[in-house]
C-alpha cells in the first residue's frame, strides 16, 4: 500500500494546499480490530465499488482506515474526507482531480482548467468532462498497481447532481481503480447492474454492529470491571453501537467508578443524548422530527399504526425516508412492515420534555389501543390502554380474551403484569375476569392465589341459567385439577380432571385439552404409557378438529414426552419437529410458551443422541423464550445444561446453572414442589461425580422418602419419572461405596419395572449402569450379555446412557464388543464416538503438532486448575475462544479431557 506521506515532495505539497483533507485519520485509541469485516471488503477488491452505509457512530470510517492499512503492498490509496461544501459537483471534482494528480502529476491539466473557468450559476457538462478525464486516467492506471479511492462521509456532500456525476463515474470506471464509499445513507445510485455482475460489495448496519466478543474486547481494552449480568446488560443495550459503548467508557473514566454505570448507557442522558441530537435529530426536517417523537412511545410500529397514532396519512413516506437515511430504524420482519427504534435512540426520543404543541403520550397510547383492538391484537391493545392510564378500558379488553387464547399462548407473564396494574376490585368484578386470572395464576404455579381468586366465583352463583351454572362449575373443576397436579395430589388430579372432561361444554376445548395434557403427564408418572398415548391421541384429534396450531403443537410435545419415556428418541424428535412445523407461520415477534417447550425438549433429545453442542444451542434458544413467557419449562434447560457441564468437569458452572434456575423460581414465587426435587436430583449426580457421597446420600434418601411408598407425592410435571431416576442414582452411590450386590439388586428391580411398563429409556440406563457394575467386579461374560440387551433396548435411538462405557475404564472393552456386534445404526454411532486407537498415545513421547503461544498459555492455566471462566478473565479472551483453544489443544495432543492434556503435555516437556 502506498501512503501519502511517502509520496514525492511535489505530491505532498499539492495535498497540503487542500488543508489536509487528503489525510487519512489514524485509528481511534482502543480501536477494536474487525478482521471479519476487512476480509469481506477484501473479497470485493476485484470489483468497482465497496459501499459501507450505517447510522452515525457504527465505526464506518474506522473500518475504512483499518481496511486501508491492511491493503496488499501493491495497492495505493487516496482518502477524500468530504464535507457539506463538497456538494457542489465542480468543487468535488476539483478536489478529486487534485488528489489523483498526487499519483499522476501529468493527469488532467486541461480538465482542471475547464473546471476553474466554469461559472457556478451556469450549466456545466459534467458527464462530458468526466468522460474525457476517465479516458485520460485509464492510460495512467495499472492493474499491477491499483488505486483505492475512499470517499468518506459521502452523506455530507450528497446532492442530486453529485449523485448523477458519481453514477456516471462508477459506470465508466477504468480498470485499476476501486471506490470505497462510507455514508450514513445509501447513495441514490442505480446499482443493480454492478450487483448482478458482482462488482459491488455492501456492508450495512447489521454487518457493522459489534459482535458480543468484539464488544467484550472493547470494554476489556479499557479495563472495564463489569462482570456478569451488568456486563451483559450493557452489551445488550448497546445493540452493537460502537459510539454508545465508547460514550459509556468515557463516562466511566470521568466518574472514576463503575458502580452505577450500567444505568449510564441511556440515550436520554449525557454524552449519548448530545451526540444523537447534534449528529442525527437536529439534521432532520421538522416534520420528520415530529414523527419520531410521536411514534417513540411504541415498542414496535408499522405505517398503518403510525398513521392512526398521528392521525395522518404520510407515515409510509416518512418511514421510507428514515430507512433511506439510516436513522436508527430496526426492521422486525423480512417484509419491511414492522419496525422499532434502536434502544438508545428510543431512550432519547421518550425522554424529551413535553411541549404545549405536542400530543400527550396518554392520547397517543389510547389511539394505538383503538388501532390494535381493531386489528384483533387484544393483548397489545391492553398494554396500550394501561400505558394510557385507562384501567377500565384495559379490564374490558381483557374480558375479550378467550380462555382458549390464554391457554394456547400461556404467556402468563403478560397477564400477571396486567394484574399488577389492575385494581383487585376490577379483577373480581365479573366471572370472566375471575376465570381468566385464576387460570393465569394456575399456569404461573401460584396455586394458593389461583384458588383464592377462583373462590370468588361463588359470588355469581347461582348463575342466570342451568347451562351457565354447569359451565362455571366445569371450569372450576378443570382449574382445580391443574392446581391439584401442581401440589402433587394424584387422586384429586384424576378426580377433578375426569369430572371436568365429562361436564365441560365442547366450546371450552382449551380447558378440555389442558385436562387431557395433565392426565397424560400423570399417566407417564404412573408408568401407564398406553393410557398416556391414548390421551395424547385424543388431544391431537381435538386440536386438529378446532384447527388451533398452538394446541396441536402442545399435543405433539406431550406425544414426544411419552415416546422419550419409551426410549424412542428418534420418533420423539420427529414429534417435536412436527410441533414446531405447526408454529412456523406464527409471528417470531410474539412469545409462545409451547414453542419454548418444544425447542427446549428438542435440545434435551439431542443430548440423548450425544449431540451436546447442538443440544445446548437449542436449550439456550428455548430458555430465552421460556423466560420471557415466565414458563417454568426453564427448569429443563438449566438442568440439562448443568448435567452437560458436570460431565465435562465444569462443576462450578454446573452448580451456577442450577443456582440460576432456583433464582428464577424464587423471583417467580413458584412453590418448591415444582422444582426443588428436580434440581436436587441433578445436584446429587454432580456430587457423586465429585466424590461427595455423604451429601448425595443424604439428599437421595430424602427424595426417596418423598416420592416412593404408599403416600408418595406425584413427581413434578417436568420430571414425571423422577422417582426412578432417584433409584438409579442410589445404585450409583452403592457402586461407589463398594456395595455391588445392593446396587445390582436395585438395578434388576428397575429393569423389571421398565420391562413391565414399556419404559425402555429407563431400561437402557439401568442396563448400561449394570454393565459397568459387572465389569468392575470381574463378571465379564454377564457384562457381555447385558450389553447385548442394552443394544436391543436402545433401538429407538438413545445414545447418552452408553457414556458410562465410553470412559477410559471400559472404552477398549466396548470397542471390542462393538466390532463383534451385528451391524446396526446404533453400533456405527457408538463407534464414531469412540476415539480411534491411533488417537490413543501409546507412546507418551510420540510427536505432536506444535501448540501456538496462545494455546500454551491456555494449557498452562489448565494445568494450574483454572476453570474456563478464570482462563477467560486472566487472558482477556472470550469464553468461546477459551473453549476453542482447549479443543485444539486436545486434538493436537491426541487426548479427550483436560487431565489427559496436562499429563500428555508434561510427558512431552511442554509443562514444567
Look at residue 19 in the predicted model and tell me its pLDDT. 43
* The pLDDT of residue 30 is above 70: yes
What average pLDDT does range 35-53 have in this prediction? 90
Picking from 879, 450, 444, the residue whose alpha carbon sits closest to that of residue 664 is 444
The pLDDT score that the predictor gives to residue 327 is 85
Distance CA 264, CA 279 (A): 20
The predicted structure's pLDDT at residue 262? 44
CATH assignment of the domain containing 144: 3.40.50.300
Angle (nearest 5°) at CA 608 between 603 and 610: 95
Last residue of a domain, one of 240, 259, 280: 280
Q: How many residues does the chain have?
A: 912
Q: How many domains, in total, are found in the chain?
A: 5
CATH of the domain at 503: 1.25.40
State the Cα–Cα distance between residues 696 and 673, nearest whole angstrom: 19
| pLDDT at residue 223 in the model | 52
For residue 488 the three cell numbers come to 402433587
CA distance 390 to 368: 13
User: At a CB cut-off of 8 Å and minimum separation 6, what does 70 contact?
Assistant: 38
Sign, Cα dihedral of 298, 302, 308, 310: positive
Q: What are phi and psi of 838, to 5 degrees?
A: -65, -25
pLDDT in the model for residue 876: 67
Range of the domain at 805: 738-832
Provide the percentage of residues in the chain whose pLDDT is more than 90: 34
> Is pLDDT at 410 greater than 80 in this prediction?
no
Per-residue model confidence (pLDDT) at position 912: 57
Are 86 and 141 in the same domain?
A: yes
Boundary (domain end) residue, out of 832, 863, 882:
832
Q: How many CB atoms lie within 10 A of CB 456?
A: 17
Three-class SS state of 738: coil
Q: What is the pLDDT of residue 172?
A: 86
When mean pLDDT is compared across 218-227, 243-252, 686-695, 741-750, the lowest value belongs to 218-227
Nearest CA to 635 out of 672, 669, 656, 665 is that of 665
Name the nearest CA neighbour of 452 among 434, 465, 429, 436: 434
133 and 220 inside one domain: no
Query: Residue 210: what pLDDT?
Result: 87
CA distance 177 to 146: 6
Looking at the domain assignment, is residue 888 inside a domain? yes
Contact criterion met (CB below 8 Å) for 717 and 521: yes
**Is residue 125 predicted with pLDDT exceeding 90?**
no
> Residue 572 has which C-alpha cell?
420423539
Q: For residue 14, what pLDDT is reported? A: 37
d(CA 240, CA 36): 15
Residue 839 has pLDDT above 60, yes or no: no
The whole-number average pLDDT for the span 169-196 is: 87
> For residue 788, is it within any domain?
yes
Q: Which residues neighbour 63 within 8 Å (Cβ) at sequence distance 6 or greater? A: 34, 37, 38, 41, 52, 182, 203, 208
Using N-to-C axis directions, what is the helix angle for 612-629 and 412-421, rounded to 10°? 20
Distance CA 345, CA 329 (A): 9
**pLDDT for the residue numbered 791:** 92
Cα–Cα distance, 798 to 787 (Å, whole number):
14
Q: What are phi and psi of 147, to 5 degrees?
A: -120, 130
* Listed residue (4, 143, 10) closest to 81, CA to CA: 4
Give alpha helix (H) positions in 141-182.
154-157, 160-171
**pLDDT value of residue 225:** 60
Mean pLDDT of the 123-130 span: 75
Crossing angle of helices 612-629 and 634-647, in 10° steps, is 150
Considering the domain architecture, whether residues 194 and 61 belong to the same structural domain is answered as yes
* Burial class of residue 125 (count of CB atoms within 10 Å of its CB; 0-12, 13-18, 19+): exposed
pLDDT tens per residue across span 581-610:
999 888 777 888 899 999 999 999 999 999
Lowest mean pLDDT across 689-703, 727-741, 812-826: 812-826
Q: How confident is the model at residue 462 (pLDDT cuts 50, 70, 90)?
A: confident
Higher-confidence position of 268 and 591 = 591
In the sheet with 49-53, reading across from the earlier edge strand, the strands are 76-81, 147-152, 177-183, 49-53, 200-203
Residue in the block written with cell 450495512: 204
User: Tell me, what's the pLDDT at 13?
Assistant: 37
618: pLDDT strictly greater than 50 = yes
Using pLDDT thresholds of 50, 70 and 90, give the confidence band for residue 146.
very high
Task: Give the lowest-confidence range in 110-124, 319-333, 437-451.
Answer: 110-124
Whether 266 and 186 share a structural domain: no
Return the closest-CA partner of residue 550 out of 601, 501, 592, 506: 592
- pLDDT tens by residue, 183-197: 988 888 888 888 888
Q: Report CA-CA distances (Å) from 33 to 53, 54, 131, 143, 885.
A: 19, 18, 39, 29, 20
Please classify residue 621 by burial: count the beta carbons closer than 10 Å to its beta carbon, then call 0-12 exposed, 13-18 middle and 19+ buried: middle
Are the beta carbons of 76 and 67 closer than 8 angstroms?
no
Q: Is 567 left (phi over 0), alpha (psi -120 to 50) or beta?
A: left
Q: How far apart are CA 723 and CA 198, in angstroms?
A: 62
**Residue 863 covered by a domain:** yes
| CB 194 within 8 Å of CB 47 | yes
The C-alpha atoms of residue 68 and residue 78 are separated, in whole angstroms, by 9
Could you tell me which residues are beta bridge partners of residue 2? 76
Among residues 113, 175, 104, 189, the alpha carbon closest in space to that of 146 is found at 175
Taking residues 742-766, report their average pLDDT.
93
Handedness of CA 245, 247, 253, 258 (dihedral sign): negative
- The residue assigned the cell 466396548 is 814
Q: 276-296 pLDDT, tens per residue?
A: 888 888 888 999 999 999 999
Query: Do residues 69 and 149 share a domain?
Result: yes
In this model, does residue 108 exceed pLDDT 90? no
Tell me, yes or no, whether 890 lies in a domain.
Answer: yes
* CA end-to-end span of the chain: 45
Q: Are residues 191 and 260 in the same domain?
A: no
Is the full-model pTM beyond 0.85? Answer: no
- What CATH number has the domain bearing residue 898? 1.10.10.10
| Structure confidence by residue, pLDDT tens digits, 334-346 | 777 888 888 888 8
- 789 with 891, same domain: the answer is no
The answer to whether residues 661 and 639 touch, using CB atoms and an 8 Å cutoff, is: yes
Q: What is the pLDDT of residue 224?
A: 57
Question: Do residues 105 and 239 both lie within one domain?
Answer: no
What is the H or E stretch that residue 148 is in? Answer: strand 147-152
**pLDDT value of residue 570:** 94
737: helix, coil or strand?
coil
> Does the residue 286 lie in any domain?
no
DSSP annotation string for 772-792: HHHHHTT-HHHHHHHHHHHHH
Q: Identify whether residues 238 and 100 lie together within a single domain.
A: no
- Residue 366 belongs to a domain: no
Same domain flag for 203 and 258: no
**β 329-331/339-341 pair status:** antiparallel
What does the block give as the cell for 46?
476485484
pLDDT of residue 254: 63
Say if 302 falls within a structural domain: no
Residue the block writes with cell 415444582: 674
Q: Up-side HSE of residue 277: CA atoms within 13 Å toward CB?
A: 14
**Distances from the Cα of 108 to the Cα of 104, 112, 135, 138, 149, angstroms:** 9, 6, 10, 12, 17
Report in angstroms the alpha-carbon separations of 586 from 404, 513, 624, 835: 16, 20, 17, 43
26 class by beta-carbon count within 10 Å (0-12 exposed, 13-18 middle, 19+ buried): exposed
In a domain, 556, yes or no: no
Q: What is the pLDDT of residue 319?
A: 92
Strands 76-81 and 147-152: parallel
Whether residue 493 sits in one domain with residue 508: yes
Q: Report the alpha-carbon distance of residue 96 to residue 355 in Å, rounded.
A: 46
Give pLDDT, residue 28.
79
pLDDT of residue 892: 78
- The full DSSP string for 64-111 is HHHHHHTS-TT-EEEEEE--GGGGSHHHHHHHHHHHHHTT-TTTTHHH
E strand residue ranges, 281-341: 329-331, 339-341
201 and 240 belong to one structural domain: no
- Mean pLDDT computed over 381-410: 82
- Alpha-carbon gap, residue 60 to 182, rounded angstroms: 6
pLDDT in tens, 346-388: 888 888 766 666 788 899 999 999 999 998 888 889 889 988 8
- What is the SS3 string spanning 178-244? EEEEEECCCCCCCCHHHHHCCCEEEECHHHHCCCHHHHHHHHHHCCCCCCHHHHHHHHHHHCCCHHH
Q: Are 412 and 403 in contact (CB under 8 A)?
A: no
pLDDT at 501: 92
Backbone angles phi, psi at 189, to 5 degrees: -115, 150
Mean pLDDT of the chain: 84
Task: Output DSSP code: residue 489.
Answer: -
Please report which helix (H) or strand (E) contains residue 874, including its range.
helix 868-875
Question: Among candidates 515, 609, 529, 513, which has minimal Cα distance to 563?
Answer: 529
Amino acid at each position: 500500500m502506498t501512503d501519502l506521506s511517502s509520496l514525492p515532495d511535489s505530491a505532498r505539497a499539492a495535498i497540503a494546499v487542500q488543508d489536509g483533507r487528503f489525510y487519512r485519520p489514524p485509528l481511534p485509541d482502543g480501536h477494536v480490530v474487525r478482521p471479519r469485516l476487512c476480509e469481506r471488503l477484501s473479497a470485493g477488491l476485484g470489483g468497482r465499488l465497496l459501499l459501507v452505509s450505517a447510522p452515525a457512530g457504527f465505526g464506518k470510517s474506522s473500518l475504512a482506515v483499518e481496511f486501508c492499512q491492511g491493503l496488499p503492498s501493491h495497492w495505493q490509496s487516496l482518502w477524500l474526507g468530504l464535507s457539506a461544501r463538497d456538494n457542489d459537483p465542480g468543487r468535488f471534482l476539483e478536489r478529486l482531480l487534485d488528489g489523483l494528480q498526487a499519483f499522476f502529476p501529468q493527469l488532467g491539466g486541461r480538465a482542471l482548467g475547464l473546471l476553474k473557468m466554469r461559472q457556478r450559476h451556469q450549466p456545466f457538462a459534467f458527464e462530458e468532462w468526466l468522460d474525457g478525464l476517465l479516458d485520460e486516467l485509464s492510460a495512467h492506471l495499472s492493474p499491477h498497481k491499483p488505486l483505492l479511492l475512499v470517499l468518506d462521509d459521502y452523506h455530507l456532500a450528497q446532492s442530486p447532481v453529485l449523485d448523477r456525476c458519481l453514477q456516471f463515474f462508477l459506470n465508466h470506471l477504468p480498470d485499476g481503480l476501486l471506490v470505497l464509499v462510507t455514508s450514513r445513507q445509501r447513495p441514490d445510485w442505480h446499482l443493480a447492474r454492478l450487483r448482478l455482475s458482482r462488482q459491488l460489495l455492501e456492508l450495512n448496519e447489521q454487518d457493522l454492529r459489534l459482535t458480543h466478543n468484539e464488544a467484550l474486547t472493547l470494554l476489556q481494552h479499557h479495563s472495564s470491571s463489569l462482570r456478569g449480568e451488568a456486563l451483559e446488560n450493557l452489551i445488550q443495550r448497546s445493540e452493537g453501537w460502537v459510539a454508545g459503548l465508547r460514550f459509556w467508557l468515557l463516562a466511566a473514566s470521568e466518574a472514576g467508578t463503575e458502580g452505577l454505570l450500567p444505568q449510564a448507557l441511556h440515550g436520554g442522558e449525557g454524552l449519548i443524548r448530545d451526540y444523537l441530537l447534534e449528529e442525527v435529530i437536529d439534521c432532520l426536517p421538522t416534520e420528520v422530527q415530529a414523527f419520531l417523537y410521536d411514534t417513540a412511545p411504541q415498542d414496535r410500529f408499522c405505517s398503518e399504526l403510525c398513521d392512526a397514532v398521528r392521525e395522518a396519512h404520510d407515515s409510509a413516506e416518512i418511514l421510507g425516508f428514515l430507512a433511506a437515511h439510516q436513522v436508527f430504524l430496526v426492521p422486525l420482519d423480512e417484509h419491511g412492515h414492522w419496525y422499532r427504534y434502536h434502544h438508545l435512540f428510543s431512550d432519547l426520543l421518550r425522554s424529551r420534555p413535553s411541549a404545549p404543541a405536542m400530543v400527550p403520550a396518554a392520547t397517543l397510547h389510547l389511539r394505538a389501543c383503538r388501532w390494535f383492538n381493531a386489528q384483533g391484537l387484544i393483548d397489545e391493545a391492553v398494554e396500550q390502554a394501561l400505558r394510557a392510564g385507562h384501567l377500565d378500558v384495559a379490564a374490558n379488553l381483557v374480558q375479550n380474551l378467550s380462555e382458549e387464547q390464554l391457554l394456547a399462548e400461556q404467556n402468563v407473564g403478560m397477564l400477571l403484569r396486567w394484574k399488577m396494574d389492575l385494581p383487585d376490585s376490577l379483577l373480581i368484578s365479573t366471572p370472566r375476569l375471575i376465570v381468566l386470572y385464576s387460570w393465569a395464576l394456575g399456569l404461573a404455579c401460584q396455586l394458593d392465589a389461583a384458588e383464592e381468586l377462583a373462590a370468588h366465583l361463588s359470588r355469581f352463583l347461582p348463575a342466570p341459567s342451568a347451562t351457565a351454572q354447569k359451565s362455571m362449575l366445569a371450569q372450576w373443576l378443570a382449574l382445580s385439577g391443574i392446581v391439584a397436579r401442581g401440589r402433587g395430589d394424584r387422586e384429586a388430579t384424576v378426580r377433578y380432571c375426569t369430572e371436568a372432561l365429562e361436564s365441560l361444554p365442547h366450546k371450552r376445548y382449551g380447558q378440555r385439552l389442558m385436562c387431557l395434557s395433565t392426565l397424560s403427564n400423570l399417566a407417564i408418572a404412573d408408568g401407564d404409557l398406553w393410557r398416556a398415548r391414548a390421551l395424547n391421541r385424543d388431544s391431537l384429534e381435538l386440536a386438529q378438529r378446532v384447527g388451533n396450531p398452538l394446541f396441536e403443537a402442545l399435543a405433539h410435545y406431550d406425544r414426544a414426552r411419552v415416546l422419550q419415556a419409551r426410549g424412542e428418541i428418534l420418533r420423539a424428535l420427529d414429534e417435536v419437529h412436527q410441533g414446531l412445523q405447526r408454529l412456523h407461520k406464527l409471528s417470531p415477534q410474539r412469545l409462545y410458551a409451547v414453542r419454548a417447550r418444544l425447542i427446549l425438549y428438542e435440545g434435551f433429545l439431542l443430548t440423548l443422541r450425544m449431540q451436546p453442542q447442538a443440544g445446548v444451542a437449542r436449550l439456550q434458544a428455548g430458555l430465552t423464550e421460556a423466560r420471557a413467557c415466565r414458563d417454568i419449562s426453564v427448569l429443563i434447560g438449566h438442568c440439562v445444561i448443568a448435567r452437560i457441564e458436570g460431565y465435562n468437569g465444569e462443576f462450578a458452572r454446573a452448580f451456577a446453572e442450577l443456582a440460576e434456575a432456583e433464582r428464577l423460581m424464587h423471583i417467580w414465587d413458584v412453590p418448591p414442589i415444582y422444582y426443588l426435587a428436580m434440581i436436587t436430583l441433578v445436584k446429587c449426580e454432580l456430587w457423586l461425580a465429585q466424590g461427595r457421597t455423604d451429601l448425595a446420600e443424604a439428599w437421595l434418601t430424602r427424595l426417596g422418602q418423598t416420592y416412593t411408598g404408599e403416600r408418595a407425592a406425584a413427581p413434578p410435571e417436568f420430571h414425571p419419572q423422577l422417582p426412578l431416576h432417584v433409584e438409579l442414582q442410589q445404585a450409583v452411590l452403592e457402586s461407589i461405596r463398594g456395595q455391588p450386590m445392593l446396587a445390582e439388586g436395585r438395578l434388576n428391580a428397575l429393569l423389571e419395572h421398565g420391562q413391565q411398563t414399556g419404559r425402555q429409556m429407563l431400561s437402557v440406563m439401568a442396563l448400561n449402569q449394570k454393565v459397568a457394575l459387572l465389569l468392575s467386579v470381574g463378571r465379564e461374560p454377564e457384562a457381555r450379555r447385558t450389553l447385548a440387551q442394552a443394544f436391543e433396548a436402545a433401538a429407538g435411538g438413545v445414545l447418552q446412557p452408553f457414556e458410562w462405557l465410553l470412559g477410559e475404564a471400559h472404552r477398549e472393552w466396548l470397542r471390542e464388543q462393538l466390532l463383534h456386534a451385528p451391524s446396526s445404526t446404533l453400533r456405527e454411532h457408538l463407534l464414531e464416538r469412540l476415539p480411534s486407537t491411533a488417537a490413543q498415545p501409546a507412546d507418551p513421547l510420540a510427536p505432536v503438532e506444535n501448540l501456538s503461544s496462545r494455546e500454551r498459555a491456555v494449557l498452562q492455566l489448565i494445568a494450574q486448575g483454572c476453570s474456563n471462566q478464570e482462563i477467560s478473565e486472566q487472558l482477556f479472551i472470550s469464553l468461546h475462544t477459551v473453549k476453542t483453544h482447549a479443543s485444539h489443544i486436545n486434538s493436537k495432543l491426541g487426548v479427550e479431557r483436560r487431565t489427559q492434556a496436562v499429563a500428555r503435555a508434561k510427558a512431552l516437556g511442554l509443562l514444567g
